[in-house]
Amino acid sequence: MVKNGLKKGLAVLLAVVMLSILPGCSSSTAKSDSEEKNSLANQKQVEVIKLSGGDWGYPTPYGIYPRGPGSRKMALIFDTLLATDVDGNPGAKLATEWEKSEDGLTYTFKIRPEVKWNDSQALTAEDVAFTYNYFKTIPPVNTPDFSKVANMEAVDVQTVKVTLTEADPKFLANMTSFYIIPKHVWESVADPVNYLDSKAVVGTGPYKLTEYSKEHGTYRYVINEAYWGSEPKAKELQFIPISEEILAFEQGDIDRISITPDVMERFESDDEYEIMQYVTSWAYRLYYNMNTQPEFANVTFRQAVANAINRDQLVEKIERGSAVAGNPGVLHPTSNKLYNSAVEQYANDPKKAEELLDSIGFKDTDGDKIRENASGEKLSFTLLADEGSTRIAELIKQDLSLVGIDITVQTTDSKTRDSRFAAGDFEMVINGSGGGEDLGEVTNVKKSAKATSTTAAVVGYHNPQVDQLYTDLQKTTDPAEQLKISGELQVLLAQELPKLTLYYKNTIMVHRPAVYDGWSPDTYHNDSRTNFVVE
């Protein structure tokens, strides 16, 4: 048996160490003493923290919206069996320890003793088994991948046994998104999606929901007095509607906001404020519809586009340097431990782009500075963007016009962009999201699990070698083998370019330390529970 144990407290220390060696992960003005000051464990408890509101659904596994902060608002109330530590490995949460059988087909979890739901009833292993079976019958908004789980059962009050159909290297990681719901509440609920009763938000997490307005996008949370973990550092969290965030922040109506690089100087020069800057894997990416536009299925064409688009310019002109240029091999160059620096990077080279287009017969035959294909059709495409990425699209249009590719930018709201992206209703599209570093997105492996509301399958791309490498990567638990296979896969993806990562966006936050200084250096999300609870 392989046994794992609780490392509570160590994660916080490791977070400080890791962030001290990752450039840009904390404020450019941060000092070692301020890191100490920022330690959540040292924070005094404050009465209330006010943040910008907005409706992201009723915070249950069935009521949240799939995109945005709904899942984090749910996580203020509900717990998972396991958490993710600063190294990205599974750590303890409701489960204090777990064992894996030698063949990797059985996991046994020990549930933390004396945990109570916020209605005072005890959490038991029956709740865990019930949650699995309930989710299996009626999947929640975000479903953990339990495709290799054959059975989950309560052995006794504190013990859960999980049987797999085959060994799954990602099983424990999947358990970090498995939110446990109380059997005594949900066993009689036949329509969980529309279950908006106050009992629906009975959880074991650090906070209780006391107010919610879908119309106004307001939420109010108070401390769950029965919470099993450390005492939260804010007695109350309020999410309130705000029309002008910067104005509301400067007037003290809310306590922390996200700012753009162009207004950073406004706060940098004032000691009242502190700025925290985060390197993230949230990225803007360029996708092609290879089913409807045959030019996009030509890898040489895609390589020409990569040479033509000036990704460094996007970083400088749009983000004023507060971003990281995209890696054609998909993975983030500084924050992903599997990153391979040896992949082709495609420095901005319009001349090279023109040579590549010439080589596949795309030439300007009538002198209008737009190239034609072999059928005489002009290389004219529509690039779909939302309001937040319109300027990116316009700069791409300028870059591609220099090499004879005509682009018409079409802007929609983000929900329409998402919907059209998922439906394949586009020629080229810019999509911005986090979590897009899943290499499975570019494969034809497990199609049903790839497309979500925020990421979609790369339309029309199919490379059996990519599929095989990805499949091999999913099966190995050996770190050296993972690094090797992932490195090969990244090299291939950088050559094939089924999608092009434009840049990874840094996130810049500003707050008043005098009001609250417990904001985590590990996540920029205001509503993350790690800002308020030491775990």
Among 158-162, 178-182, 455-459, the range scoring the smallest mean pLDDT is 455-459
pLDDT at position 5: 38
Contact residues for 170 (Cβ-Cβ < 8 A; gap 6+)? 145, 474
Percent of the chain exceeding pLDDT 70 equals 90
pLDDT at position 32: 46
Among 62-71, 380-389, 446-455, the range scoring the smallest mean pLDDT is 446-455
Residue of 84 and 189 predicted with greater confidence: 189
pLDDT at position 127: 98
* Spatial separation of the C-alpha atoms in residues 379 and 361, rounded to whole Å: 12
Closest CA to 377 of 386, 391, 364: 364
Q: How far, in whole angstroms, is CA 418 from its chain's centroid?
A: 16
Q: pLDDT tens-digit profile of 11-63?
A: 333 333 333 333 333 333 333 444 554 578 888 899 999 999 999 999 999 99
Structure tokens at 294: 């045959």
pLDDT band of residue 6 (cuts 50, 70, 90) is: very low
Q: How far, in whole angstroms, is CA 139 from its chain's centroid?
A: 20
Amino acid at 264: M
* Spatial separation of the C-alpha atoms in residues 319 and 313, rounded to whole Å: 9
Sign of the dihedral through C-alpha 139, 141, 147, 151? negative
pLDDT at position 506: 92
* Spatial separation of the C-alpha atoms in residues 389 and 28, rounded to whole Å: 26
Q: pLDDT tens-digit profile of 325-347?
A: 999 999 999 888 899 999 999 99
Question: DSSP of 311-350, one letter per residue?
Answer: HHHHHHHHHTT-EEEPPTTSS-TTT-TT--TTS------H
pLDDT at position 28: 33
Find out whether 137 and 125 touch, Cβ atoms under 8 Å: no
pLDDT at position 453: 43
404 Ramachandran zone, left/alpha/beta (phi>0; psi -120 to 50) = left
Find out whether 41 and 117 touch, Cβ atoms under 8 Å: no
* Spatial separation of the C-alpha atoms in residues 444 and 353, rounded to whole Å: 29
CB neighbour class for 324 (10 Å; exposed up to 12, middle 13-18, buried from 19)? buried
pLDDT at position 452: 44
* Spatial separation of the C-alpha atoms in residues 502 and 21, rounded to whole Å: 25
Closest CA to 432 of 387, 397, 396, 470: 387
Structure tokens at 417: 């962009």
pLDDT band of residue 100 (cuts 50, 70, 90) is: very high
Structure tokens at 318: 């749009």
Percent of the chain exceeding pLDDT 90 equals 74
Q: pLDDT tens-digit profile of 127-149?
A: 999 999 999 999 999 888 899 99
pLDDT at position 25: 32
- pLDDT of 498 over the 50 cut: yes
Closest CA to 275 of 261, 290, 254: 261
- pLDDT of 371 over the 70 cut: yes
Closest CA to 260 of 130, 82, 71, 388: 388
Structure tokens at 287: 């996708």
Q: pLDDT tens-digit profile of 57-76?
A: 999 999 999 877 999 999 99
pLDDT band of residue 96 (cuts 50, 70, 90) is: very high
Radius of gyration in angstroms for the set of CA atoms belonging to the chain, rounded to a whole number: 24
Residue positions counted in the chain: 535
- pLDDT of 435 over the 70 cut: no
Structure tokens at 173: 């990681």
Q: pLDDT tens-digit profile of 183-215?
A: 999 999 999 999 999 999 999 999 999 999 999
pLDDT at position 436: 60
Residue of 471 and 188 predicted with greater confidence: 188
Q: How far, in whole angstroms, is CA 14 from its chain's centroid?
A: 21
Q: What is the mean pLDDT of the chain?
A: 89
